[in-house]
Amino acid sequence: MPRYILGRVLQAIPVFLGTTFLIYFMVFAMPGDPLLALFGDKTPNPALLAQLRAQYHLDQPFLVQYWYYMTGIFQGNLGVSFSGEPVTAILARTFPVTARLAIMALVIQSVAGIAVGLVSGLRKGKLFDASALVVSLILISVPIFVIAFVAQFVFGIQLGWARTTVGSGAPTQDLILPAFVLASVSFAVIVRLTRSSVIEAQSTDYVRTAYSKGLGRNRVIPVHILRNSLIPVVTYLGTDFGVLLVGATITEGIFNIPGVGNTLYKAIVLGQGPTVVSFVTVMVLLYLVVNLLVDLLYGLLDPRIRYV
C-alpha cells in the first residue's frame, strides 16, 4: 500500500504541472493583451490593470510568468480578485459554505443512488427497476439549471416548502433543496452504475460459491454483491467531482448561495475574466486532489491494487 500511495502521488505531479500550465497557457499565451481580452467589452480601472500586470509579470517571457505563478500557488498566493480582494481571503469565506453543500449532495447521491441501484439490480425487470431506470434517464437528460428552476418553481413557489434563494449565512435547512438539485444528475448515474454492477456480480462464480457454502441472502448481498459493486461507483465519484463543481457553480448561482461556485458564477456573469481564471484554477486543483483521494480509496477497496 505505501508503494501504491507513493506511485499515485508521483503520477499526480506531472498532471498537476500539465493542467496548471495548460490553463495558464490558454489565458496568457494568446495573441494580444491577455488582460484586455479577459475584460472583454469592459474597461478596467487602470490601477487594477497595473496591479494585475505586476501580479502576472506580464513584462516577462511566458515561461517566467508561469514560474512566478507556480511559486505563488505553493506560497498560498492565488492572486487578487476583480475587486482587489485576495483570492485566498474570498476562499476562506466561501469555501465552508460550498463544502457543506457539496458534502450534503455527495451523501444524498451516494446513499440514495447506491440504495436504489442495489434494489433495482436485485429486482431486475420488476416494476421498481423499470421506474428507477426511467426516472434516472430523465434526471440525466434534464440539464441541472432546468432542474433547479423546476425545483424552485414547484417546492419554492407552488408548494412553498423551501426558499427559492438562500438566506444570509446559508443556514443548512436552506441548503437542503439546492443539495438535492446538485445531487440529482450524479444520483441517476450512480443508480445505473450500481444496478449494472449488482446484476453482474449476481452471476459471478464467487457469489454462487458463497451460496454453496451455506450463506444466506442477507449475508451474500451486502458482503459479496454490494461490496464488490462499490468499486466502480467509487471510481465514478472521482470523475463525478468535476460534474459536482460545475453543478455547484450553477446551483449556487441560481439559489444565490454565498459559496465558491457563486463567486465564480458572478465573476462569469459580470465578465470579470481574471477572477474567473483564478477560481477555475482553484477548482481544478481541488478536482486533482479529490481524484487522488479517490484513487487511494480505490486502492483500499480493491486488494488487487493494494498488494500487487
Q: H helices within the chain, ranges in order?
A: 2-28, 34-38, 46-55, 62-74, 87-122, 127-141, 144-151, 172-202, 205-212, 217-220, 227-255, 260-269, 273-301, 303-306
Between 98 and 291, whose beta carbon lies closer to another protein?
291
Between 41 and 169, whose beta carbon lies closer to another protein?
41
Q: Kindly state the DSSP code that residue 162 receives in the 8-state scheme.
A: S
Q: Kindly state the DSSP code that residue 43 receives in the 8-state scheme.
A: P
- What's the closest the beta carbon of residue 140 comes to another protein, in angstroms? 6
- What's the closest the beta carbon of residue 73 comes to another protein, in angstroms? 15
Residue with cell 423499470: 130
Between 19 and 77, whose beta carbon lies closer to another protein?
19
- What's the closest the beta carbon of residue 29 comes to another protein, in angstroms? 10
- What's the closest the beta carbon of residue 145 comes to another protein, in angstroms? 5
Between 53 and 219, whose beta carbon lies closer to another protein?
219
- What's the closest the beta carbon of residue 181 comes to another protein, in angstroms? 14
Between 134 and 172, whose beta carbon lies closer to another protein?
134
Contact 55, 277 (CB under 8 A): no
Residues contacting 57, CB < 8 A, separation 6+: 64, 65, 68, 69
Residue 76 Rama label (left phi>0; alpha psi -120 to 50; beta): left
- What's the closest the beta carbon of residue 139 comes to another protein, in angstroms? 10
Spatial CA neighbour of 238 closest among 175, 301, 181: 301
Of the CA atoms within 13 Å of residue 64, those in its CB half-sphere come to 7
Q: Which amino acid is at 141?
A: S
Between 169 and 304, whose beta carbon lies closer to another protein?
304
